[in-house]
Structure 1
Amino acid sequence: MSGQEEVTDRGGTLRAVARLLRPHRLVLTTGLLISLAGIVVNTTAPLVLGRATDLVLAGVAGAGLPAGLSKDQALAQLRADGNDTLASVYATVDVVPGTGIDFDAVGSVLLLALLLFSIGSACGFVQERVAANVVQEVARDLRERVEAKLSRLPLSYFDAHSRGELLGRITNDVDNLQQVLQQTLGQLFSAVLYSVSLIALMFVISPILAVSLLVSVPVCTVVATLLSARARPRFDEQWAATGALAAHVEDTYTGHALVRAFGRRARGEAEFDAHNDRAHRAGSSAQFLAETIEPALLFVTNLNYVVVAVVGALRVTAGALSVGDVQAFMQYANIFSNQVGQVGAAVGKFQSGLVSAERVFALLDAEEEPADPTAPATPATGTGRVEFADVCFRYTQDRPLIEGLTLSVPPGATVAIVGPTGAGKTTLGNLLMRFCEPDSGRILLDGVDIATMRRADLRSRMGLVPQDTWLFEGTVAENIAYGRPGASREEVVAAAKAMRVDHFVRTLPSGYDTVLDETTGISAGEKQLITVARAFLATPTVLVLDEATSSVDTRSELLVQRAMADLRRGRTSFVIAHRLSTVRDADLILVMRGGSIVERGTHEELLAAGGDYTALVNSQFAAAP
């Protein structure tokens, strides 16, 4: 989906929803035809029932008239006796004087009506089934599109949106849109078709009664428009509040240990109550206005129904319509009123779905990472030479971060990157992994500009050990094998042994089959060793180690350092570190400040220079004031 029209106006959103349904148009058309067949049958049934009423009335009238007279003679006699109204009513049916009710004919008509109603119900069932299947497929396709979209979004998008809010769009909003479509798709189709069919039949029976009934349509349209317009901003607020609530819950329960440690439970509960109350107020107001539409429309149509009943009675007494015709018309009027009410209810529900659709389409329309080149380049060798050539980057236009960075790293070298917070250390790793794109300049891997490579190809040559020891819910073996799908158990164990993981894994209840979750009692250092083993198994050419020991204790740090030393052997490595003890043996140390490299050299050379690096070293050993 391209462009912004889908998320800026109601018409654009409706067109976007229609595009979701377009791949299923053949199935929808089939369901529409089945629905149309059912509507034709259902709208014919009242005429048949009206015929049964006329047969009963004709039999009752015939039994009370003298036998041997013709219909005209019997009616003339009634008028001569002063029964003009009764004569007018009898004139509308096929009266045979002296003949009672033809129960065989009445039974045949009732059986036909029963058959028609059965066929109509069956068609309605099939139509609802078709609509349900289509909506489920649309929801499945939409989730797949959202999942694919997330993989194409830059890191800046995730930095600008909380995880809880994004999860709300992916789950709550997609589910709400699915439910709304489920409840309204078939309902709207059948209501529109029903209404058109009913109006046509009502005009056939009596144009005067039809016009009397349709007077309510403009009034209903105005009422529905006004109420839905007032409900829409409430739904906007409701789903925004729901997203904020989800974000708060996600943050609070992810950091529940800190919440309790700092005694912030009361504040967290107060914030939850505030978000919850806001969602409650907005939701109550939105639902009230949406649910008001249907009874408001039914009130208008029921008032009009009374008018139609009175006009119909007058037409019968005037001999212009039969009782059966009026009965059929009143059934049509009742069905029409119900359809108008259903349309009103669907419009109210659809407001909520449109708001959710806009939130999902806003995600789908978000700016993506630049597409991979159509003719991607591939390095001829895999030595791991990395070059930065006059690279410039900034997160915002008015705040430069990295300016004119030039660096050449030979294969197999270990480059340590140090500096104060905000100096651009992690950004350098993000640029190398193409999590961010430079504003200018080039980054080359083995002589090839990484911008000309496919991201998957580039990242398959790199290994990342992040500061946050993220482990997925699964077994130890599965977490290690995440670095190379399809790795055998023997390869997983070999990587674990090489990275000093095997010894503590053996102590776990189920060894490599132990499921890792929040309840698994392993330390931060052990988690970090698993991430190091994961990177080792991926056999990368270039390593990015981002603050890999910042969250572990001294003993664990030694284990992780030894594992990473083995991991770096023969590979080009970029070590981003705050703890300078982890970078002493680096081949090259870069000192960054304000996005620029202000010093470079070995540990001894930089200490001898007495510059920024010396100040960093001294600051780590200085006594606290």
Structure 2
Amino acid sequence: MLTPSQAGFRRLLPLLLPHLRQLTWGGLCMLVFVSSQLVLMKLMGRLLPDVGSGDLNRILPVIGLVLVVFAIQKIAQFGQDSLLAGPALQVSQSLRRDLFQRLQRVQLGALEKMSSGDLTYRLTEDADRVSEVIYKTLHDSIPSALQLVAVLGYMLLLDWKLTVAILLLAPFVAWLISVFGARVMVATERSQKKVSELAGLLGEAIEGLPLVRAFAAEPWLERRFEDEIDQHRLARYNTYRLVALQHPVVGIIEVLGFATVLVLAAIRINSGDLEIPGLITYLTGLVLLIDPIAHVTANYNEFQQGQSSLRRLREIEQEPSEPADPVPALPLGRLRGDLSFSQVQFSYIPGQPVLQNFNLSVHAGQVVALVGPSGAGKTTVFSLLLRFNCVDQGQLLFDGKDLSRVSARDLRQQVALVPQRSSVFSGTIADAIRFGRDCTQEELQQSAKLANAHDFIVRLPDGYDTRLQERGTNVSGGQLQRIAIARAVLGNPAVMLLDEATSALDAEAEAAVQLGLKQAMADRTVLVIAHRLATVQEADQIVLMERGSIVDVGTHDALMQRGGRYRELCEKQFIRDLQTG
């Protein structure tokens, strides 16, 4: 089963090497289990003829031996199954861990194109299916294949003429199994794709349920869901039908082989060429072939399904990853916060520049606002500052050090992001602020005070130990945003990136968040993406961007006096405010 395949099961073999000792003991138990089958064949050939004689003195010792051998076989089977289960599960765990680590390094642009439901399915169900295939390969398929070889070899020794008659059917059976297996794999891939689509729709439906209700779109969503589950049902049914068809087809061939042996045996006995004890031993071996053939057939189908799952897991590895750290990385030290973009050019797709000839200098402690229409490249500037991407041409310097020569981890410990819509993991408020970092309780509370969050936190029933529900739904938007600001300032970053951090809030919540931002921004370099120009009038510099280039730079007053595009944008927003008011 663990043979070279398009899906790359052979590549999982190195993951088994750390468990070689356990695999060796499991393999020894497997050999005892298979060998006991041959001993039982021999004993049954002696026992059954003696039963007809009624001589207990001859029967009881043989029965005793059968029971002993049977007990040894079952003990060996337990050792085989239990010893081999551990390595199989460890491989699954290692595979899932490696892919999750890989997922964390995938470029954000590529990651945003993936369905969260599909990714969840791949790292749970697909990974479990791969684990099951490995486990069944180790504890079932390999022993079954060994049993087939051992029993057939013994049957050749007993009567090669009868065995050759059986072996003539073997290529046909193998061909049928391979044909069914290939079709099962195709059907499984379709089924898994439908499950992934269903998982993606469920994720969208649950998150967007308030919107669905607001538009009274429940019937539309129900029809979409009904269509998806119907397609999923049909895809699964096709897989089950193929597997169901395979069993009777292979079973008919097994019966034909058994009938052929009986006819040939009758002819041989009639001619005196075969005796009854030899026939019983041989027929016992024939019966012992039925179970391993059924197991190999069923496991081959599961192996093909596992190929599909492994291929889907390996697709994650094909996604582009964020730039690797240079070797050796330049020590970053404590940043002052001077930033410099020099002739920077960048594109996500070759030939389609997002930033071009981008030149900007920011001095430590300054507040700089990036304004302009959607698609101007503002978010891309943040992406470069966080080293999610590297510039194609030019230089991006922090305190005179080229960002492409420092490690991303060192950089991100000194650059903090406050996104437009904050997200938190389930856990306590303290956990959300720490976000995996070590700090004292005093440092934790100090960051919350800077973010204007401490007062509302201590008023909660459990204070900092209050548990946040999924997506922080048990606190208000303004409170969640202040938690995000506290999270950002905990590491005392030299640079803060604010992505319109108050745009989704009402006036009262915005005032509380603005106070937190003002305290958090003190003595730091701050870059702000602003769509509402009224929020950045006090910035030290306002950078107007369009189509990846800087159109104008200056203070609010200077830009307004110069007129031009910035004044036009301000007037449009002012007119819109009057209209909505």
Q: Distance in 1 between matches of 2:324 and 2:364?
A: 28
2:38 to 34, 43, 46: 43
Superposed displacement of residue 545, structure 1: 0.6
User: 1:378 aligns to what SS in structure 2?
Assistant: coil
Contact 1:54 1:322 in 2 (8 A): no
Contact 1:379 1:446 in 2 (8 A): no
Q: Distance in 2 between matches of 1:368 and 1:208?
A: 61
Superposed displacement of residue 459, structure 1: 0.3
1:52-71 superposed matches below 5 A: 52-56=47-51, 60=53
Q: Distance in 1 between matches of 2:145 and 2:161?
A: 22
Superposed displacement of residue 381, structure 1: 4.6
2:100 to 113, 128, 147: 147
Counterparts in 2 of 1:25 and 1:278: CA distance versus 1, 3 Å:
farther
User: 1:11 aligns to what SS in structure 2?
Assistant: coil
Contact 1:31 1:126 in 2 (8 A): yes
1:507 to 459, 484, 488: 459
Of 42-51 and 196-205, deviating more is 42-51
Counterpart of 1:323, as a letter, is I
2:449 corresponds in structure 1 to: 497
Kindly report the root-mean-square deviation, in angstroms, between the aligned alpha carbons of the 2 structures. 2.0
Superposed displacement of residue 367, structure 1: 2.7
Contact 1:297 1:340 in 2 (8 A): no
Superposed displacement of residue 366, structure 1: 2.6
Q: Distance in 1 between matches of 2:253 and 2:24?
A: 33
Q: Distance in 1 between matches of 2:575 and 2:130?
A: 59
Structure 1 unaligned spans of 5+: 1-5, 61-100
Q: For residues 304-342 of structure 1, what are the alpha-carbon distances to aligned partners after superposition, in whole Å with 9 as ceiling and x for unaligned?
A: 111112222332333322212111111111111221121
Counterpart of 2:412, as a letter, is R
Matched, 1:450 2:445: no
Superposed displacement of residue 16, structure 1: 2.8
User: 1:550 aligns to what SS in structure 2?
Assistant: coil
Of 494-503 and 12-21, deviating more is 12-21
Structure 2 unaligned spans of 5+: none
Q: Distance in 1 between matches of 2:25 and 2:357?
A: 62
1:488 corresponds in structure 2 to: 440
Contact 2:12 2:91 in 1 (8 A): no
Q: Distance in 2 between matches of 1:379 and 1:144?
A: 30
Superposed displacement of residue 489, structure 1: 2.1
Superposed displacement of residue 156, structure 1: 1.6
User: 1:545 aligns to what SS in structure 2?
Assistant: strand
1:94-243 superposed matches below 5 A: 102-243=55-196
1:475 to 419, 428, 452: 428
User: 2:6 aligns to what SS in structure 1?
Assistant: helix
Of 125-134 and 187-196, deviating more is 125-134
Counterparts in 2 of 1:371 and 1:546: CA distance versus 1, 3 Å:
same
Contact 1:379 1:447 in 2 (8 A): no
Matched, 1:606 2:559: yes
Contact 1:592 1:598 in 2 (8 A): yes
Of 108-117 and 413-422, deviating more is 108-117
Contact 2:166 2:261 in 1 (8 A): yes
Contact 2:7 2:307 in 1 (8 A): no
| TM-score for the superposition, normalised by structure 2 | 0.95
Counterpart of 1:512, as a letter, is Y
Counterparts in 2 of 1:188 and 1:551: CA distance versus 1, 3 Å:
same
Contact 1:302 1:337 in 2 (8 A): no
1:93 corresponds in structure 2 to: none
Contact 2:148 2:292 in 1 (8 A): yes
User: 1:591 aligns to what SS in structure 2?
Assistant: strand
Counterpart of 2:573, as a letter, is Q
2:330 corresponds in structure 1 to: 377
Q: Distance in 2 between matches of 1:376 and 1:291?
A: 58
Contact 1:391 1:405 in 2 (8 A): yes
Q: Distance in 1 between matches of 2:289 and 2:302?
A: 20
Q: Distance in 2 between matches of 1:11 and 1:464?
A: 42
Counterpart of 2:446, as a letter, is A
Matched, 1:586 2:539: yes
Q: Distance in 2 between matches of 1:451 and 1:131?
A: 46
Superposed displacement of residue 12, structure 1: 4.6
Q: Distance in 1 between matches of 2:30 and 2:5?
A: 27
Q: Distance in 2 between matches of 1:215 and 1:152?
A: 54
Counterpart of 2:451, as a letter, is M
User: 1:408 aligns to what SS in structure 2?
Assistant: strand
1:12-23 superposed matches below 5 A: 12-23=7-18
Q: Distance in 2 between matches of 1:277 and 1:185?
A: 36
2:256 corresponds in structure 1 to: 303
Q: Distance in 2 between matches of 1:334 and 1:467?
A: 69
Superposed displacement of residue 396, structure 1: 1.6
Number of residues paired by the alignment?
A: 575
Q: For residues 386-405 of structure 1, what are the alpha-carbon distances to aligned partners after superposition, in whole Å with 9 as ceiling and x for unaligned?
A: 11111111122242210011
Q: Distance in 2 between matches of 1:54 and 1:537?
A: 84
1:390 corresponds in structure 2 to: 343
Counterpart of 2:10, as a letter, is R
Superposed displacement of residue 438, structure 1: 1.7
Q: Distance in 1 between matches of 2:511 and 2:567?
A: 23
Superposed displacement of residue 27, structure 1: 3.0
Q: Distance in 1 between matches of 2:11 and 2:191?
A: 22
User: 2:265 aligns to what SS in structure 1?
Assistant: helix
Q: Distance in 1 between matches of 2:466 and 2:437?
A: 19
